[in-house]
Structure 1
Amino acid sequence: MIKESCIMRLIELRANKETFHTITFNKVGVSIIRAIKVSEDKKSTYNSTGKSLLIYLIHFCLGGSENQELKEKLPEWEFSLDFLIDDVPFTATRNVDNQKFVRLNEKEYKLSEYTDWLQSKTFFNIPNEFKYISFRSLINRFIRPKKSSYDTYNCYLKEEVGYQELLNNSYLLGLDISRISKKKELKEEWDTTKEKKKNIENDSIMREFFTGDSDKKKIDLEIIGLEKKLERLTKSIAEFKVAEDYDSIRKEADEISEQLKRYKNRRSVIFNAINNIEKSLDIRPDISSKDIQNLFEDAKININESIKRRFDEVEDFNRKLLGNRKARLLDEKKQFESQLNELDGIIRMLGKAQDEKLSLLQATGSLEEYSKLNEQCSQVQIKYNKLVDYKELLGTYNSKIDEIKEAFVKENSDTNKYLKEIELLKKRNIEVFNSFAEQFYQNKTSGIIIENNEGENQSRFNIEATIDSDSGDGVNNVKIFCFDWTILKTQNNHNVKFIFHDSRLISEIDPRQIATMFYLSNFHTNEFGLQYIITANQKELDALKSEFTEEEYQKFIEKNIVEELTDESDESKLLGITIDLNYEK
C-alpha cells in the first residue's frame, strides 16, 4: 500500500543541449541507470559513461557548491532538475555561467535563498543557531556525493569533522541535537579556559608581569610577607613628621660633627703630650757620684781628690740640669692641662648640640625621605596587587573549570535519562536496520547502537551500526545500504522519499548481496511509495541472472532500467560529448 504525505521525489534531470541524455526517474519504485561497456579497449572503464557525473549534476541542481571548471569546459550549458514536493512540481535550473543563482519555476533565487527554501520544505526542527547542519549537509545522506562517501556507512563527506558528522547523522536518527551542541560548547569552553590558565602559568611575559621574580609555588607566602611590609610602611608614613628646616638642621649637625672630630683629634694630641711629660718626669740618674767612687774602691783602684771633685761637679751639674728640665716640663704640663680642660668643655658643648640636632632629625624627616617612603610603599602595593590579581585570576579559571566539570556531570546524567526516555525511538531504529540486515545475514545480531559518550570530548553520542558478521566481504557495503535505508524509512525530521546510490555500492561484492539489495529496494519502494535510484554496471547486473529467475530479473532489473549509458561513442555518454571534468573536489 502506497502512503502519500508531504514528500520530495526526483522526477527528471535534463540539460539545454540536445546531446545530453535526459534521465527520467520512476516516481515510485526502483530506477536503474545501466552502464554498458562496449569498447574492448582494456583502458576503457564503466567510469567514462557519466554515472558519477549524473550524481554530481543532481547535487549541482540542488544547490551544490560553485565549480569554475564547469564554466570553463561547459560554457552556455544549463541543467534542470524536476522534482515534486507534496506532489507540487518544481523545476530548478542552474546555468554554469551564472552559478550564484537558480531559477525555480522561472523565478530567480540566490543560491543561499534556494537552499534555505529547500530546507524549509524537506527538513524540519533545525534550530537557527546550528552552524553545521543544513539542507546541503543533510541531502548528502540521501545522495552520497563522492567516491569516499562509500568508505564507511557513517561518513558521507571526508570534509566533515567528527562533530559535523555526528550532528547530521543524529538529526536523521531522531536524536536531540541540542545535546550534541551543548557538549561541544562545554568542551570548547573547558579547553579554552584550561589553555588560558596554562598560558598565564607558563608564559614568561605574563608571569613576569604578574609575579616578577616570585616563585609561583610560593605566591601565598609572598602575599603574606608583602601584607606585613605594607603594614609597617603604612604605619611609618602615618607617623612620619616632615621638618621644614630639616636640611639646614642636618647641615648644622654635619658641621658640628666635623668640629667635634677636629677638637677630639686635638684633645688626643694634647693628652698624649701630657702622658709623655709625665713619663719624662719619672726619669732619674742611673748612678750617683758616691756610687761611682764605691765602684772604684771595690775594684781597689785609687782615685785622687781632683777626680772625686770632678765627679761631684758633674753630679751637681746634672742635678741642676734635671731640675731645670723638670720645672720646664711641669710648666708645659700645666699649660697642656689647661688646654685639655678647655677642649673638654668645647667637646661637651658640641656633643650636647650634636645630640640635640640628631634627636630632632630622628624625630622628623625631610620631604624627600617622605616621598621615598611613599614611593616604596606604592611599589610594594603594586607588587602585592599583581600577586593577588594573579592568584584570583588562577582561582577564577580553576572555579570555571570546576563549574564546567559539574556541567559535564549534569549533562551526562541528563543524557542518560534522555536515552531512557527515547527507548521507543532507539528500538525503532534498531528494528528497521535489523529488518534489512537480517535479509543478508540470517541469525546474526544487528542494529544501531546509540550510547551516551561520557568522555571529556565533543561527542555526545556513540552511534554504531553493527552486524555480527562485520569481518566478511561486502559487509561495509551492506551496512551502508541498511543505514541509508534506515534513515529513509524512519522519516526522522525529514520528508525526503528517495535514496540515490552510485554503482560503487554494488561493485566487487557477492551477487547474492546485490540481489538482496534489489529485492529489498523493490519491495520497500513499492510498498511505502518511495524511490530508490542506482547506477549499475552491466557486469554486476549480468551476475544477478544466476540469483533471480527470469521473471524476477525482468521484474527487479529490466523493467526498472530508465536509461542506458555506454562507452561506445561520445553520443552514448551522459553529456553526449567527451570531456574531462574534476567534480570530486
Structure 2
Amino acid sequence: MGSSIPTFKAVEFHPGMNIVLADQGPGSSGKDSRNGVGKTTLMEIVHFCLGGKLESDSTLGKPALGHAEFWIELELDGVRFSILRGVASEKTVLVAGMPDEWILPHRQQLGLDGTSLSLGELRTILGERAFGLGREEKGSHYPTFRSLFSFIAREGQAAYLSPFSTVPQMSAGDKQVLNSFLLGLGWEYAVQWQAWRERNEAVKSLKKALKGGALAGLGGVGELEADRVRLSQQHQRVARELADFRVLPEYQAIEREANRLTRAMQRRQNENVADAELLRMYEASLQEEADTEPQQLLALYEEAGVVLGEQVRKRLDEVKKFHSELIANRRTFLTKELSGIRSRIEERTRENQADEQEKAKYLGVLKEHRALDEYTQLQALNNELAGRVAEIESRIELLNGLEKQDTSVKGERIDLAQRTRADFIERRNARDAAVAIFNENSESLYNAPGTLIIDIGENGYTFDVRIEREGSEGIDKMKIFCYDLMLARLWSGRRPSPLLLMHDSTLFDGVDERQRGHALERAYHESDANGFQYIVFLNSDNLPRQEYLGEFCVDSHVRVRLDDT
C-alpha cells in the first residue's frame, strides 16, 4: 500500500497476522491521543482503493489531500494486481496486472499507465473475484462487493455495535441478505423476504392511507355495496324519467300566456262582481221610485179644512206635470244603464269562457311537456348519481383489490416460509460449521461457550449471538470478534474468497486485558492455520502483557509503526 505523498509510509502486509501499531513519540505528553495518528487513515485508504465512497469529513476528503493518489497491491483468485485511485479523479481507477478476461466483459478505456475503470466496473470485478458474485446477480437487495466488504473491514464506530450490521440502522432486509450470504445460507430467500416485506408494507400503507383519507368513515365493502345498490336504484329511476322527458322549447312562453289569460279572467271576474252590485242598486232604485201625485197633497189640505184657490190648484198641476217628466227621464236613464251593465257582464262572461278554453289548451300542452331548465336540472342529477355510483364501484374494486393483495401477500409469506425452512434444513452442515467455529472462538476467550443462533422467524432469517458472561461493552465487542473470525475461517475454505479480515482498535475498546490477549492469540492461530490475512490496528499502550498472549509474539508481526509526533 502506498501514496504519492512523499511522507507517506508504504506498508506491506504479509500472509497471516499483521499489526499496525500506533506508538507514542518521545516528544508527546501522556495526554496525547494515538487515535488519529494514521491507523484510521490506512483503513480509509484500503476502502478508497477498493471502490469506497470518498466522504467529505474523512481524512482523505481534506482539501490538503486534493491531489493525492493512493495505490494498493493485492492478490485475488490467484492473481496479483494493483489499483491506483486519485482523490481528484475519484470516479475512476487505474488497474495494472488485472487479467484481460476479468476486464473484457466490462466497459473499459485503456490509459497510458494501465487500464482505466469506473468505480462501478471495479466493484463488479472485485465482487466476482472476491465473493463469487455473478454478473446476473444484480438487484435492489442483492449483495454487492462494497456491502460484503464492510464486514471484512469494519470501518467507523457504528461498525462495531453489532456482529450483524456495519452501518447505523441497517435494515432488517440487508442484515438478512448479507449475513445469510456470508454464512453460506440461502441468501436468495433473504432477497425474496425483503421483496415480500416491501409488498406487505405497501399494502398496509395503502390500506392505512385509504382509511384515513378518501375512504375515511365509509366502512367496509359491505356498507359500500349497500350504498351502491341504493344509489343505483335512484339513478335508474332518474334515468328512466330523463328518457321519457319531452322538452318544449316554447314552454316558458306558453306558461306566460296561460298566466296572462288567468290574470285577464280574474280581472273580468272582478269587474263583473262590481257591475253586478251596481245592477242590484239600480234595480232597487227603480222599485223604490214612487210617483208622488199633487192630487194627494190637495186632498190633505181639504181634510185639514184648508180651501185652496184656483191659482194654487193650477200651480199644483204644473208641479205634477214636472215631476212626472222627471220620473220618466230617470226611469229612462236607469233602464239604459241597466241594459249597459247587463251587456258588459255578458261580454266579459263570454270572453272568460273563450279564455278558459284557450287556457285549457295551454295547460294541456304544459302537462304533456316540460321545460328545458327542468330537463337540465334532471340531467345534472342523473350525472351526479351516475358519478357517485361509479365512485363507490371504484372504491369497492379498490378495496377488493387490496384485500386480494393482502390475501396474496399472506399466502406468499406462508409459501416463502416453507421454502426457506426447507432450504434451511438442507444447509444444516453450513450452519453447524458456523455455530461450531463461533463456539470455539468464544471458549478461547472466556473459557465459556458462546452461541451463534441462526433461525427462521415470521419474516425470514434471524440472527443472534450469546456468550454466558454478557453485560459489558467488552464482551459485546468480543461477540463481533468471534463472529468475524468465524466468517474469515469459513471463507478461507471457499473459492473465490477475499482471504482477508481487518479490525480497527475500536474493537478492543473496553475489553479486558486477558480477553485482548486471547483474541490476538486466537486470530494469530486462525489466520495462520487457515491461510487468510488478518490485519489489526492497535495502540501500543493497549497491548496486553505477554502472559495473556501465549506463544504469540506481537513484535514479530508489526508491519508498520505510527507515532503521533
TM-score under structure 1 length normalisation: 0.75
- The DSSP-based 3-state class of the residue aligned with 2:35 is helix
Q: Deviations over 1:172-214 (max 9, x none)?
A: 23333322332233134225523653575179xxx9xxx9xxx
Cα distance between partner residues in 2 of 1:92 and 1:434: 37
Identity %: 20
1:392 equivalent to 2:393? Answer: yes
Letter in 2 for 1:137: S
Cα 1:523/1:307, change in 2 over 3 Å: farther
SS class of match (1:92): strand
**Corresponding residue for 1:186?**
199
Alignment equivalent of 1:95, drawn from 63, 71, 86 = 86
Q: Distance in 1 between matches of 2:533 and 2:423?
A: 32
Structure-2 separation of matches of 1:405 and 1:186: 9
1:528 aligned onto 2:530: yes
Kindly indicate whether residue 557 of structure 2 is the aligned counterpart of residue 560 of structure 1. yes
Match 2:34 to one of 46, 68, 88 = 46
Q: Deviations over 1:285-310 (max 9, x none)?
A: 9xxxxxxxxxxxxxxxxxx952999x
Alignment equivalent of 1:65, drawn from 41, 49, 53? 53
Report what 2:277 is aligned to: 272
Change beyond 3 A, Cα 1:37–1:379: same
SS in 1 for 2:93: strand
Q: Is the 8 A contact 1:270 1:336 kept in 2?
A: yes
Match of residue 18, structure 2, among 17, 31, 35: 31
Q: Which one of 158, 172, 180 corresponds to residue 170 of structure 1?
A: 180
Structure 1 residues 443 and 34: alpha-carbon distance in aligned structure 2, compared to 1, 3 A threshold: closer
Aligned-partner residue type, residue 343 of structure 1: R
Letter in 2 for 1:565: L
Who is 1:107 aligned against? 115
SS at match of 1:21: coil
TM alignment of 1:414-429, pairs within 5 A: 414-417=415-418, 418-423=420-425, 424=428, 425-429=430-434
Match of 2:561, as an amino acid?
Answer: E
In the alignment, which residue of structure 1 is the partner of 2:164? 154
SS at structure 2 position matched to 1:23: coil
Task: Identify if the C-alpha distance between structure 1 residues 496 and 283 changes in structure 2 by more than 3 Å, giving closer, same or farther.
Answer: farther
Written as runs of structure 1 = structure 2, the 5 A alignment for 1:3-14 is 13-14=1-2
> Is the contact between residue 232 and residue 389 of structure 2 (CA under 8 Å) also seen in structure 1?
no
CA distance in 2, matches of 1:493, 1:183: 31
- Distance in 2 between residues matched to 1:54 and 1:169, nearest whole Å: 26
Q: For the residues of structure 1 that align with 2:549 and 2:240, how far apart are their CA atoms?
A: 103
Contact 1:453 1:462 (C-alpha < 8 Å) held by counterparts: no
**Distance (Å, rounded) in 1 between the aligned partners of 2:150 and 2:531:** 21
- Listed one character per residue, the Cα deviations across residues 402-437 of structure 1 (whole Å, up to 9, x for unaligned) are 233223322332343213431314444333322322
In structure 1, list runs of 5 or more residues that go unmatched: 1-12, 286-303, 455-459, 570-585
Counterpart of 1:562 in 2: which secondary structure?
A: strand
Are the counterparts in 1 of residues 165 and 175 from structure 2 also a CA contact under 8 Å? yes
Contact residue 75 and residue 97 of structure 1 kept, 8 A: yes
In 2, Cα distance between the equivalents of 1:351 and 1:243? Answer: 22
For 2:337 and 2:80, the matched residues in 1 are separated by 143
Alpha-carbon deviation of 1:451? 3.2
Rounded Cα–Cα distance in structure 2 between residues aligned with 1:525 and 1:239: 94
Q: Report the counterpart of residue 506 of structure 2 in structure 1.
A: 504
Q: Does the C-alpha gap of structure 1 residues 347 and 67 become closer, same or farther in structure 2, counting only changes over 3 Å?
A: closer
CA contact (8 A) 1:76 1:97 kept: yes
Distance 1:444 1:279 in 2: 138
Match for residue 474 of structure 1? 474
Amino acid across the alignment from 2:160: Y
Q: Is the 8 A contact 1:219 1:387 kept in 2?
A: no
- Name the aligned partner's letter for residue 116 of structure 2: E
> Structure 1: how far apart are the matches of 2:23 and 2:244?
105
CA distance in 2, matches of 1:361, 1:248: 11
The residue aligned with 1:259 is 264
Structure 1: how far apart are the matches of 2:388 and 2:160?
Answer: 58
- How much has 1:383 moved relative to structure 2? 1.8
**Equivalent AA in structure 2 for residue 386 of structure 1:** G
For residues 286-297 of structure 1, the aligned pairs below 5 Å read none
Q: What is the alpha-carbon distance in structure 2 between the residues aligned to residue 524 and residue 349 of structure 1?
A: 124
CA contact (8 A) 2:153 2:502 kept: yes
Match in the other structure for 1:9? none
Q: Is the 8 A contact 1:122 1:494 kept in 2?
A: yes
> In structure 2, what is the Cα distance between the partners aligned to 1:396 and 1:307?
123
Residue 98 of structure 1 deviates from its aligned partner by 2.4
Amino acid aligned to 2:23 = I
Residues in 1 aligned to 2:55 and 2:354: alpha-carbon distance in whole angstroms:
107
Aligned positions of 1:201-240 closer than 5 A: 201=214, 227-240=232-245
| Greater length-normalized contact order (CA 8 Å, ≥ 6 residues apart) | 1
Deviation by residue 1:329-364 (Cα, 9 ceiling, x = unmatched): 788667645544443333223212221222133223
| Contact 1:61–1:92, Cα closer than 8 Å, also in 2 | yes
C-alpha distance in structure 2 between counterparts of 1:413 and 1:244, whole Å: 68
Is contact 1:439–1:516 with CA below 8 Å preserved after alignment? Answer: yes
3-state secondary structure, aligned to 2:84:
strand
232 and 431 in structure 1: CA distance in 2 versus 1, 3 angstrom threshold:
same
The separation in 2 between residues aligned to 1:98 and 1:333, in whole angstroms, is 125
Matched, 1:350 2:355: yes
SS at match of 1:25: coil
Report deviation, 1:52.
1.3
Q: Give the C-alpha shift of residue 373 in structure 1.
A: 4.4
Judged with a 3 Å threshold, the aligned counterparts in structure 2 of structure 1 residues 506 and 238 are, in CA distance, closer, same or farther, namely: closer
Q: TM-score, normalised by structure 2?
A: 0.77
User: Displacement of 1:51 after TM fit?
Assistant: 1.1
Q: 3-state SS of the aligned residue for 1:474? A: helix
Contact 2:228–2:393 under 8 Å retained in 1:
no
Asked whether the 8 Å contact 2:225–2:396 carries over to 1, the reply is no
Q: Distance in 2 between matches of 1:187 and 1:307?
A: 138
Q: Give distance in 2, aligned partners of 1:473 and 1:222.
A: 62
Shift of 1:120: 1.6
Q: Give the corresponding residue for 1:363.
A: 368
Equivalent residue of 2:72, what SS? strand
Are residue 118 (structure 1) and residue 106 (structure 2) matched?
A: no
CA distance in 2, matches of 1:199, 1:389: 21
3-state SS in 1 of match to 2:51:
coil
CA distance in 2, matches of 1:489, 1:346: 121
Query: Is 1:129 matched up with 2:139?
Result: yes
State the distance in 2 between where 1:387 and 1:91 align: 70
Tell me, in whole angstroms, the C-alpha distance in 2 between the residues paired with 1:125 and 1:281. Answer: 132
What is the CA-CA distance between 1:476 and the residue it aligns to? 0.9
Give runs of aligned pairs for residues 275-354 of structure 1, distance below 5 A. 275-276=280-281, 306=304, 336-337=341-342, 339-354=344-359
Structure 1 residues 278 and 102: CA distance shift in structure 2, 3 A? same
How far does the alpha carbon of each residue in 1:483-536 deviate from its partner, in whole angstroms, 9 at most, with x for none? Answer: 212332333896221110011112331122112212221222222212211011
Gaps of 5+ in 2: 97-113, 291-301, 308-315
Deviation at 1:399, TM superposition (A): 2.5
Cα distance, 1:426–1:247 mapped onto 2, change above 3 Å: same
- State yes or no: 1:78 paired with 2:78: no
C-alpha distance in structure 1 between counterparts of 2:424 and 2:240, whole Å: 70
Q: What's the secondary structure of 1:141's corresponding residue?
A: helix
